[in-house]
Amino acid sequence: MAGRAKLVAQGLAVAAVVALLGLLVWKIAFDRSGGAAAELERGESPAAPLFLLKRLDREGMLSLADLRGKGVVLNFWASWCVPCKDEAPLLEEAWQQHRRRGLVVIGVDAQDFEGDARRFMKRFGITYPVVYDGKGSTLGRYGITGFPETYFVDRQGNLVGERIAGGLDSERNRERFAAGIELALRRGAMHDAAASQGP
């Protein structure tokens, strides 16, 4: 009886070790802790993680999925973040300049007081759509490491270009920002083929 119990205990211990090893292998093979940013940095073009969040610029909700067919600049910010204040005019300028070409600038206000965010928008004259993610539910999926961060989503809903971590600056990363906008607005191959055939 004692021998059998010992055998069962040994079996359980071996099973636990095997399970832990399995978890380790799974973690290494399928680690997505860096979110979409990690895939983007590996040169991939992952689908932009979708969200459905409350709008701050007007009543209602905004779904990223509904913007399929448009180029999107996604800017993660918070009212307590200093560089976010500096870059706000640049984002507004980009929105005004490219919106007729099909660009949408979306501000994602995260880990912030909703009232503070509204005051920030008013103070800096933000007219582009802003959604509220106080709980930060989107941050992990995108791999946000700080505020602000900016991503570019093409018309097919994939992340393109380079993620810009830190404030947008007219000198430091102007070219990356402009390139990201162009990539986001670029028409897909299927769309181009259809357009060239004409009606």
Partner 1 sequence: MRLAAVGLVLAAALAIAAAAAAADRPSPADLEAELVCPTCKTTLDQSDAPVARRMKAYIRERIAAGASADEIKADLVAQFGRGVLAEPPKEGFDLLAWVLPLAGVVLGAVLVGALAWSWSRGREPPAGPVEAPLDAELERRVDEELARYDG
CA atoms within 13 A on the CB side of 145: 10
Least separation in angstroms between CB 68 and partner 1:
28
Judged by CB under 8 A, which stretch of 30-38, 55-63, 93-101, 134-142 contacts partner 1?
Answer: 134-142
Work out whether 114 is an interface residue with partner 1 (CB under 8 A): yes
User: Cα–Cα distances in Å, from 52 out to 1, 8, 30, 141?
Assistant: 59, 50, 26, 14
Tokens of 72: 């999107």
User: Which residues, listed in sequence order, are joined to residue 110 by a DSSP beta bridge?
Assistant: 133
Residue 50 found at the interface with partner 1 (CB under 8 A):
no
d(CA 171, CA 192): 33
Which among 41-49, 66-74, 133-141, 186-194 is the span making contact with partner 1, rule CB under 8 A?
133-141
Q: Does 109 bind partner 1 (CB under 8 A)?
A: no
**135 in contact with partner 1 (CB under 8 A):** yes
Distance CA 13, CA 30 (A): 26
Q: Which is nearer to partner 1, 97 or 137 (CB)?
A: 137
Task: Compute and round to an integer the Cα radius of gyration of the chain.
Answer: 22
* 78 closest CA partner among 47, 42, 34, 119: 119
Closest approach of Cβ 27 to partner 1, in Å? 20
Size of the site for partner 1 (CB under 8 A): 19
136 binds partner 1 (CB under 8 A): yes
Closest approach of partner 1 to the CB of residue 172, in Å: 21
Is 82 a binder of partner 1 (CB under 8 A)? yes
Which one of residues 41, 44, 93, 116 is an interface residue with partner 1 (CB under 8 A)? Answer: 116
Pairing status of strand 159-165 against strand 71-77: unpaired
CB 56 within 8 A of CB 114: yes
Footprint on this chain of partner 1 (rule: CB under 8 A):
1-3, 5-6, 9, 78, 80-82, 111-114, 116, 134-137
